[in-house]
Chains A and B, each alone.
Chain A
Amino acid sequence: MLQTAFNGLISGVIMTLPALAVTLLFGVLKFPNFAVGAMMTCAAYLVFALNAQLGWPLSAATVLVAVAFGGACILLDQVTFRPLRGRGAITLMVASLGLGFILENFARFAYGNTARSFAIELARPFRFLDIRMNREQMLTFAVSAAAMVAMWLLLTRTPVGRAMRAVADNPQLALVRGIESERIIRWTWFITGMLLAVGGVLIGMDRALEPPMGSNYVVGVFGAAILGGLGSPFGAFVGALLIGVASELSTLVMPPNYRIGIPLAAIALVLVFRPQGLFGQPYIRK
């Protein structure tokens, strides 16, 4: 059971970055963005292209793709969501669904349906405290932790980060305090694009690369963000870990194919009984 809990922890750690991306996007753009799964997929395949096909080391490929993908997300936003700014949340959700279809199938078109993996050295798993782990998982911990720290610093110590929190808190007030919303939106996409790229690589390291790899995580990631409280970065972090561990532990009592039921149940319970989640603030939509 300890092994299961550990696996759940890894799964949760992998979800922290995309969960944070979801919550930041929701905070600033005010709608749940379903394209995040496919975005992770695309970024992971881009890294695959550099790493497995061009021979780059994984870390260098990830860094380059992360920055480039951040820029790509800004462009995607300009083309897809900007023309729809101010339209209702449903419109934007449907658009994000469409964007998700497009991105996932670009990957499918380019690489087909067979599973791929990154070109990394396969190290032998080791045991610690009677739990089986491997080097990739340690790397996942380290990368996610570093990303979390970086995000925390960004959100609390930089003007851009503060502005993102301000816009999430009160978009109208942000305007009359001099914050140009489009600029902040671009920054938000750049940052979440990077988070999603790294998240995609972590998924690709943990499992194989295949077109649905990112979408498979959408429900879990949203469950995490909603449980933690949409708009609360700390909540996304906690939510991801909780969902990850709970989902894995559930396989001890339920068929593993239904582990998606955990985030689904979390979503339903939270939205019905406590929409602001554990750490969120009830957003007053007038």
Chain B
Amino acid sequence: MSTVLSTNGLHSGYGAGDILKGIDLALDEGRILTLIGPNGSGKSTLVKTLAGLLEARQGDVLFAGERVNGWSPPRRVKGGLAYVPQEYNVFRNLTVLENLRISHEFMGGGRGELLPADLAALFPDLPSRYGTLAGNLSGGERQMLALACALTVRPKVLMLDEISAGLSPLLSNAIFKTVKSINARGVTVLMVEQNAIEALGISDVCMVLAGGRVRFCAPASEVLGRDDLHSLYLGDTRETA
């Protein structure tokens, strides 16, 4: 099992001071890794740094065997590192079809189908909405579109920042099922989630981030089985439901 995405001693941040204070991460091919932690722990910052939107101030980011610190976001995504941001993750003024088309065109797809056939099957409802402006979609539809756009050119690694945010339990469930199926079709997944229980339910590995550092990293099943979930800063409000 090879490591497809890893960091060592990663530091990054926005202004003065680092938000990430030395992250070591290793994501093996074909796995699903879920990143959890309290607000402000740096989860989103980490994913943005991996995507290239934030510069790594210290440490390396290695993807598919190469050091990609100097790679721009377009270069990374063309190399197979796809990213779905948490908010504003679709082009609201473009239609669903245009969103998919543009992702396909610029992420390196040539002629051919917008989505690889096996992945397209996971989004049966999209074609009927092709003509709709992305800004007019419902929350759940928008997340599905954002997900599909990241898959138009089959990525090696898919990074999701709170893909289930704002969704009802039913939709949330559906999205996690979709993510699991995506993984089953050969895409490695890195997820940031507040919805820890459900996310861990489909994951292989769990990593807990707090205060910009890795506190804990273990197989997901192990984490789920613990009684002291709260003490691991899960912050999951659905637990009591």
- Please tell me whether chains A and B touch each other in their complex, using a CB distance cut-off of 8 A: yes
Of the candidates A163, A169, A176, A180, the one whose C-beta lies within 8 Å of that of B83 is: A176
Within 8 A of B (CB), among A267-286: 281, 284
Inter-subunit contact B92/A177 (CB<8 Å):
no
Decide: A175 near B107, CB < 8 A? Known: A170-B88, A281-B92: no
Asked whether A159 is an interface residue with its Cβ less than 8 Å from the other chain, the reply is yes
Inter-subunit contact B105/A165 (CB<8 Å):
no
Asked whether B103 is an interface residue with its Cβ less than 8 Å from the other chain, the reply is yes
Asked whether B93 is an interface residue with its Cβ less than 8 Å from the other chain, the reply is yes
Interface centre among B73, B77, B85 (most CB of A within 10 A): B73
Main SS of the interface on chain A? helix
Decide: A173 near B102, CB < 8 A? Known: A165-B93, A281-B93: no
Decide: A159 near B106, CB < 8 A? Known: A175-B72, A176-B85, A180-B72: yes
Asked whether B149 is an interface residue with its Cβ less than 8 Å from the other chain, the reply is yes
Inter-subunit contact B92/A159 (CB<8 Å):
no
Inter-subunit contact B102/A159 (CB<8 Å):
yes
Closest Cβ–Cβ distance, residue A10 to chain B (whole Å)? 31
Residues of A within 8 Å of B215, CB to CB, are: none
Residues of A within 8 Å of B52, CB to CB, are: 175-176
Residues of A within 8 Å of B101, CB to CB, are: 162
Closest to A177 in B: B103
Interface string of B91-125 (1 = CB under 8 A from A): 11110001001110111100000000000000000
Inter-subunit contact B74/A178 (CB<8 Å):
yes
Inter-subunit contact A178/B106 (CB<8 Å):
yes
Inter-subunit contact A178/B103 (CB<8 Å):
yes
Closest to B78 in A: A178
Decide: A178 near B94, CB < 8 A? Known: A163-B106, A173-B89: no
Decide: A180 near B74, CB < 8 A? Known: A159-B105, A159-B106, A172-B53: yes
Residues of B within 8 Å of A284, CB to CB, are: 88
Asked whether A179 is an interface residue with its Cβ less than 8 Å from the other chain, the reply is yes
Asked whether A166 is an interface residue with its Cβ less than 8 Å from the other chain, the reply is yes
Inter-subunit contact A179/B92 (CB<8 Å):
no
Inter-subunit contact A175/B102 (CB<8 Å):
no
Residues of B within 8 Å of A176, CB to CB, are: 51-53, 73-74, 77, 82-83, 85
Interface string of A169-201 (1 = CB under 8 A from B): 110111111111000000000000000000000
Inter-subunit contact B102/A172 (CB<8 Å):
no
Of the candidates B51, B83, B94, the one whose C-beta lies within 8 Å of that of A166 is: B94
Residues of B within 8 Å of A169, CB to CB, are: 91-94
Inter-subunit contact A179/B106 (CB<8 Å):
yes
Closest Cβ–Cβ distance, residue A166 to chain B (whole Å)? 5
Within 8 A of A (CB), among B10-60: 51-53
Of the candidates A159, A165, A177, the one whose C-beta lies within 8 Å of that of B77 is: A177
Within 8 A of A (CB), among B58-92: 72-74, 77-78, 82-83, 85, 88-92
Nearest 5 pairs of A and B residues by beta carbon: A178-B106, A178-B107, A175-B73, A169-B91, A159-B105
Given A177-B77, A180-B72, 7 new contacts (CB under 8 A): A166-B94, A170-B88, A176-B77, A176-B82, A177-B102, A179-B106, A284-B88
Chosen A-B contacts, 21 in total, with CB atoms closer than 8 Å, are A163-B105, A166-B94, A169-B91, A169-B93, A170-B91, A172-B88, A173-B90, A174-B91, A175-B53, A175-B72, A175-B73, A176-B53, A176-B77, A177-B106, A178-B77, A178-B106, A179-B102, A179-B106, A180-B72, A180-B74, A281-B93
